[in-house]
Structure 1
Amino acid sequence: MQAAVLAHFPPHIHPLTLASDPDGVLTDEEVLTALAERGFKLVNESDPIHLRHRVEQARPWSTERPLIVVTAGLLDQLPYDLWQQGHHVTLALHTFFPDLAYPVVRALTPAQRWRLSQAPPPPRRLGQRATVEFLLCYVFAADFDALWQPAQLIAWLDQYHQQTDPMPSVLADSLLAHLRKAPAYADWLLDELLASRDAFTTFVREQWRAYVQQQTGELLKEEPVRYVLDFETDHALQDALPCLMRSGTLEPVSVDQPDRLPNWARPAVLAPDEDHRPRRAAELLEILLESLDTPLADARWEQWQAIVRAWAELTALRYDPDNPLSSAQQKECQRLQSRLDAAFLTWLRQRYAPLGSQRLPTPHHIHHVPHYIAYQRRQGWTDRVALLILDGMALADWTLIGPAWRARHPDWRFEKHLLLAQVPTITAVSRQALVSGLRPADFAATLDTNRAEPGQWAAFWAGEGLPADACPHVRLALDRDEPSSEVDSARTRALCLTDNKIDDMVHDATLGSTDFYASLHVWLEEYGRRVEKVIAGLLARGFTVYLTSDHGHVEARGLGQPSEGLTVDTRGKRARIYSDRRAATNVQEGFPQTILWSQDSLLPDDVWVLMPQGRSAFATFNETVVTHGGPTLDEMVVPLVTITQTSEVCQTSEVSPREQDDG
């Protein structure tokens, strides 16, 4: 498919190409990256004013710097001067998959279409039902016959929930209809298990606890559980246990007498005084080392997300103030960190800008977030929306916050995406992009301040037809004040809340990341509960809450501080911004262990960013700081968590601890 798409865009031929792309063919990251390598710049704006602004920014275009203007509509609906000058291309999804039912294929996300493009073509033209079965088989690896076996279904769901995009409803409905015919699943909440990773994880953990409770006679939890997974006799389910542990779906449970369980069950149980964290760290190290054995420079974002999730979990274990890793594991983390930083930077240089143009249906950059929220609102999936920004929250932080909130609020449902922050990952740039829905190039005049955010938030929603008083921007300081009255106003439809507490903790962590995570544990029990109260109030008033961050943070070591006087526009420990290339290169000559970043199609063309390589900082030599601004995994990848409230409660039937055998 990629070759067929690229054939429409030969390099160095047409200065301006107009592409009608109603099916989003050009949203695939492989295609976007290949076009960028050919020198093309893409502009895709539905708003005519924004379109004109972006086109004028891209001038002058030429055969060496060609421009593609993408529209979902007809080409003759574009401005006449562009229509007259441009080379015309029309892309249609059915021409790339002619033997499959077009409406079904169109429901796939770009990542799913890419997997489809790797599959063998069908031997004949398929109707809608046959297309659904074909896609379930080749895109989602769903074997109808095999999935009638509970062990196979559990293993398949475990793999499925590691993918980043959900299955389209037309495919999910067909799969669920087939599974409901299986007598073994009569008591299973199949809809929830397929729709929610949290529901699936909870189900597997409760089933394992029920089995262990039944085998040992120990009461592990007061709430009764419907025991439907036959761990005792299903050997395939027993064989799946290591994979469930490795993926993090299953966690070991602590029992007084683990020797009462068979050998195959031992990896998923702990003795009363045993700590599972060293074992989990070893698993994560193994997963990450295996990932580095694959070519990551050309990896898709989906593959990197799996790496990022494992690294975030390992980071939280690494800096646990109460139970630090062994010195051997700490050294292995250090070696792994250097390799991951280098691999991610290589990948980021190639994919960061192309992914920046892929806004919907799945966001990739944080400046896509307002557009994603507005898209969900236009689809009728929600009406009142609240964007809650926990400034400075890294993905590793969320691996601690998320489980705590899930345990306290079983009626909250969490859906998580991973996003790329803006380069440089400093608050003035990255949070402003997040609030405004704009690239930094579109707010060049305020690149060094966040003062414009309230107006930018209101301006975005004005484009969606909301008046200014329906979309307030509120700064939280919950240790001093209650949220303002705008949070409770019945007129509010699109609310933006920003909270700086975690970012303040980052900059106050003078003893390194372990110091920060000690503060985060306190935050969870004190300030974090106030944040939970705000979220609970919003959910009760019918809001959908979108929780995210503008950047993460790293522990870095000082390499010295430049003395460039007035030639620098913004001074940061992990990034310095210049509007003069010569000034930036002069500083780089004195600090050769740095990266000069510019002209990435997102920053203004006359801005240069100097960032220390790896985990160094513009700080006193050898000083340890916790900070942000650079391009590492920890700083660049942040969660976007959609929080909704559900009234559904899983039905259970009791499983009592059996009498312990005397012999």
Structure 2
Amino acid sequence: MLQRILAHFPAHTHPLTAVSDPDGLLGEEEVLAALVARGFTLVAEPDPVHLRHRLAQLEPWSAERPVVVVTAGALNALPYDIWQEARRVELALHTFFPTLSYPLVRLLSPAQRWQLARAPLPAQPLARQATAEFLLRHVFGADAALLAQPAQLIAWLDGYHARPEPMPPPLADALLAALRRFPAYANWPLAELIGSRDAFAAFVREQWLGYLQRATGQPLAEPGGTYFLAFERDQALQDVLPRLLRSGTLPRLALPGAGQVPAWARPAVLAAGEDDALRRGEELLATLEEAQPLAAASGRWEGWQTLARTWAAFNLLRYAPQGGLSAEQERRGRQLEARLDAAFWAWLGRSYAALGCQRLPVPHHVSHVPHYLAYQGRQGAWQRAALIILDGMALHDWLRIGPAWQARHPDWRFHEHLLLAQIPSITAVSRQALVSGLRPADFAETLQSNRSEPARWAAFWARQDLAGESCAYARLAPDRAELPAALTGPRVRVACLVDQSIDEMVHGSTLGEKGVQAALQVWLDGASRRLEALMAELLQLGFAVYVASDHGHV
């Protein structure tokens, strides 16, 4: 697939190429990186004014500095002078997967299509249902016939929820229909288990508590619960237990009389007074040491996202104010950090700029967030939207904040997506990009401050036909418990709220990252509750709430 696409773009040949790419084939990471390596600069600007401005910035075009204009529409819809001057290319997804149902394949993300391209295509055309089964098997490793037993399904779900991107809803529906045919899953909440990582983790924990209650006679689980996983009888489930612990799906439980449980269950319980940090730290280090060379070798953003989550979980232990890791684990962590930094820096050099060209349907840089919100609005995902920016929030901070919010608001549903900060990842650059939807090169005159954010937020939404009272921007005071007046009007459709509490913690810390984590706990116990009240009020007013960070900290 890569070579077939690249054949349309010979190096050092055409100064300007216009591409109709309605299916986003150029959005795949390896394609983008290969085009950048050949010297191409990709421009995807649906707004003709922005398109002309961007092309003017890139002049003079030449065979040595070629430009590719990408549009999802027809080429003849481009400005005439660009259409006339450019070499013209049309890409179509169905030409790469001619024997599969086009509407289903089109729903896959670029990374998922790339996985599909590695599978042998069927010789004969497949109908929609057969295509769904083919995609489930080859893209997501979900062959219903191999998931007929609970242990198999639990192991598959654990791996599936570690992926950065979910399967499209029609494929989830097809998998649900297949699984519901098995008597073993009667009354299981299958839709929730497939649709939500949090729901899956909660299910596993509830089932494990039920087993421990039966095994020890201690009142650990909710009364009247329904238990589907027979850990005591199913050896295959027992064999899955180490995987659930290592992935973090199942945390260890402090259990008085832990010696009562059988040997296979003891790795998942803690004796009285036993600290889990050493065991959890060892699991995370082993996972990281195994995954780091794989992520570096694959050179793909999906691998780095998975690695980033594990590294963030390790940092939670590493910087816990009360300590917890051994000196040897600290040493291994520092060595691993050096290797990760070197490998990630090399990957950034190859892929960072390329991913900046791919805004939709999956955002990659924080500057893509406003475009993604607008896209979601066009898809009917919201009638009103609020973007809350937690300035300076690192991924390991979110691993503390998210569970705390979920515990206090069990009706809230989180859908997470990792993004790359703008480089350099400082507030004046990355937050301004996040608010404006612009690349730093497009706001060079205001790189030194964030004073222009309200105007840039308004300008972006004015281009989406949401101007004036439809658009609001406000900075939140830590001690404020009510919505800013700018957001209370009934005409407000899109709002941006900036909370600088975490960034101020970082800059004010004199005790390093452990001091930041101690301050973050104080924030969670105090100011965070006021922010949560604002979020709850926004939800009641009909806003879809998006929480984002502009950059992290180490």
TM-score by length of 1: 0.82
- Give the equivalent residue in structure 2 for 1:64: 64
1:414 alignment partner, SS class? coil
- Give the equivalent residue in structure 2 for 1:661: none
The answer to whether the aligner puts 1:179 opposite 2:179 as a matched pair is yes
Of 88-97 and 165-174, deviating more is 165-174
Q: 2: distance between equivalents of 1:206 and 1:384?
A: 35
- Give the equivalent residue in structure 1 for 2:336: 336
Percent identity between the two aligned chains:
59
Task: Answer yes or no: is the 8 Å Cα contact 2:295–2:303 preserved in 1.
Answer: no
What aligned pairs does 1:358-369 form with structure 2 within 5 A after superposition? Answer: 358-369=358-369
What aligned pairs does 1:419-430 form with structure 2 within 5 A after superposition? Answer: 419-430=419-430
Q: 2: distance between equivalents of 1:233 and 1:265?
A: 12
* Shift of residue 263, structure 1, vs aligned partner: 0.9
Q: 2: distance between equivalents of 1:437 and 1:9?
A: 28
Task: Answer yes or no: is the 8 Å Cα contact 2:288–2:311 preserved in 1.
Answer: yes
2:385 alignment partner, SS class? strand
Task: Answer yes or no: is the 8 Å Cα contact 1:298–1:347 preserved in 2.
Answer: no
Task: Answer yes or no: is the 8 Å Cα contact 2:136–2:171 preserved in 1.
Answer: yes
The answer to whether the aligner puts 1:101 opposite 2:101 as a matched pair is yes
How many correspondences in the alignment? 554
Which amino acid counterpart does residue 6 of structure 1 have in structure 2?
Answer: L
Instruction: Report which of the two has the higher share of helix.
Output: 2
* Shift of residue 221, structure 1, vs aligned partner: 4.2
What aligned pairs does 1:37-116 form with structure 2 within 5 A after superposition? Answer: 37-116=37-116
What aligned pairs does 1:237-386 form with structure 2 within 5 A after superposition? Answer: 237-294=237-294, 296=296, 298-386=298-386
Q: 1: distance between equivalents of 2:464 and 2:213?
A: 54
Task: Answer yes or no: is the 8 Å Cα contact 2:480–2:530 preserved in 1.
Answer: no
* Shift of residue 178, structure 1, vs aligned partner: 1.1
The answer to whether the aligner puts 1:521 opposite 2:540 as a matched pair is no
* Shift of residue 165, structure 1, vs aligned partner: 1.2
Q: 2: distance between equivalents of 1:280 and 1:349?
A: 33
- Give the equivalent residue in structure 2 for 1:411: 411
| Greater relative CO, 1 or 2 (CA 8 Å, sep 6+) | 1
Which amino acid counterpart does residue 437 of structure 1 have in structure 2?
Answer: G
1:317 alignment partner, SS class? helix
Q: 2: distance between equivalents of 1:76 and 1:146?
A: 49
Task: Answer yes or no: is the 8 Å Cα contact 1:384–1:493 preserved in 2.
Answer: yes
* Shift of residue 482, structure 1, vs aligned partner: 4.2
1:294 alignment partner, SS class? helix
* Shift of residue 234, structure 1, vs aligned partner: 1.1
Q: 2: distance between equivalents of 1:88 and 1:51?
A: 17
The answer to whether the aligner puts 1:141 opposite 2:147 as a matched pair is no
Q: 1: distance between equivalents of 2:132 and 2:375?
A: 26
* Shift of residue 295, structure 1, vs aligned partner: 6.0
- Give the equivalent residue in structure 1 for 2:188: 188
1:347 alignment partner, SS class? helix
Which amino acid counterpart does residue 315 of structure 2 have in structure 1?
Answer: T
- Give the equivalent residue in structure 1 for 2:165: 165
* Shift of residue 517, structure 1, vs aligned partner: 0.8
- Give the equivalent residue in structure 2 for 1:226: 226
* Shift of residue 510, structure 1, vs aligned partner: 1.2
Q: 1: distance between equivalents of 2:526 and 2:388?
A: 18
Report Cα offsets for 1:443-468 as digits up to 9, x if no partner.
11111111110011111111221122
Q: 2: distance between equivalents of 1:411 and 1:468?
A: 33
Task: Answer yes or no: is the 8 Å Cα contact 1:472–1:486 preserved in 2.
Answer: yes
Which amino acid counterpart does residue 119 of structure 1 have in structure 2?
Answer: A
Q: 2: distance between equivalents of 1:432 and 1:174?
A: 42
Which amino acid counterpart does residue 541 of structure 2 have in structure 1?
Answer: R
Which amino acid counterpart does residue 146 of structure 1 have in structure 2?
Answer: L
Residues 138 and 222 (structure 1 numbering): CA distance in 2 closer, same or farther, change over 3 Å? closer
Task: Answer yes or no: is the 8 Å Cα contact 2:481–2:534 preserved in 1.
Answer: no
Q: 2: distance between equivalents of 1:419 and 1:488?
A: 30
Q: 1: distance between equivalents of 2:355 and 2:476?
A: 31
Report Cα offsets for 1:106-152 as digits up to 9, x if no partner.
11110100100111121322222211111111011111112121111
Q: 1: distance between equivalents of 2:190 and 2:126?
A: 28
Q: 2: distance between equivalents of 1:542 and 1:266?
A: 47
Task: Answer yes or no: is the 8 Å Cα contact 1:297–1:346 preserved in 2.
Answer: no
- Give the equivalent residue in structure 2 for 1:464: 464
Of 435-444 and 126-135, deviating more is 126-135
Task: Answer yes or no: is the 8 Å Cα contact 2:481–2:533 preserved in 1.
Answer: no
What aligned pairs does 1:114-125 form with structure 2 within 5 A after superposition? Answer: 114-125=114-125
Residues 263 and 31 (structure 1 numbering): CA distance in 2 closer, same or farther, change over 3 Å? same
* Shift of residue 481, structure 1, vs aligned partner: 7.0
The answer to whether the aligner puts 1:540 opposite 2:543 as a matched pair is no
Residues 59 and 96 (structure 1 numbering): CA distance in 2 closer, same or farther, change over 3 Å? same
Q: 1: distance between equivalents of 2:148 and 2:516?
A: 48
Q: 1: distance between equivalents of 2:293 and 2:4?
A: 31
2:317 alignment partner, SS class? helix
* Shift of residue 478, structure 1, vs aligned partner: 2.6
Which amino acid counterpart does residue 460 of structure 1 have in structure 2?
Answer: F
Report Cα offsets for 1:307-329 as digits up to 9, x if no partner.
10011111111010123322111
What aligned pairs does 1:555-594 form with structure 2 within 5 A after superposition? Answer: none
Report Cα offsets for 1:367-425 as digits up to 9, x if no partner.
01111111111111111110000101100101111111111111110110000000001
Task: Answer yes or no: is the 8 Å Cα contact 2:320–2:514 preserved in 1.
Answer: yes
Q: 1: distance between equivalents of 2:314 and 2:394?
A: 13
* Shift of residue 352, structure 1, vs aligned partner: 0.5
Which amino acid counterpart does residue 138 of structure 1 have in structure 2?
Answer: H
1:70 alignment partner, SS class? strand
1:97 alignment partner, SS class? coil
Q: 1: distance between equivalents of 2:11 and 2:114?
A: 23
Task: Answer yes or no: is the 8 Å Cα contact 1:205–1:250 preserved in 2.
Answer: yes
Report Cα offsets for 1:24-60 as digits up to 9, x if no partner.
1100000000000000000011111111111111111
Task: Answer yes or no: is the 8 Å Cα contact 1:297–1:343 preserved in 2.
Answer: no
Q: 2: distance between equivalents of 1:404 and 1:460?
A: 33
2:68 alignment partner, SS class? strand
Which amino acid counterpart does residue 128 of structure 2 have in structure 1?
Answer: Q
- Give 5+ residue unaligned stretches, structure 1: 555-663
* Shift of residue 427, structure 1, vs aligned partner: 0.6
Task: Answer yes or no: is the 8 Å Cα contact 2:16–2:87 preserved in 1.
Answer: yes
Task: Answer yes or no: is the 8 Å Cα contact 2:427–2:550 preserved in 1.
Answer: yes
Which amino acid counterpart does residue 230 of structure 2 have in structure 1?
Answer: D
Report Cα offsets for 1:252-311 as digits up to 9, x if no partner.
111111121111111111112111121111111111111233360652100001110011
Task: Answer yes or no: is the 8 Å Cα contact 1:297–1:347 preserved in 2.
Answer: no
Which amino acid counterpart does residue 194 of structure 2 have in structure 1?
Answer: L
Q: 1: distance between equivalents of 2:539 and 2:223?
A: 26
1:361 alignment partner, SS class? coil
- Give the equivalent residue in structure 2 for 1:474: 474
Instruction: Report which of the two has the higher share of strand.
Output: 1
Which amino acid counterpart does residue 108 of structure 2 have in structure 1?
Answer: L
1:388 alignment partner, SS class? strand
Residues 324 and 255 (structure 1 numbering): CA distance in 2 closer, same or farther, change over 3 Å? closer
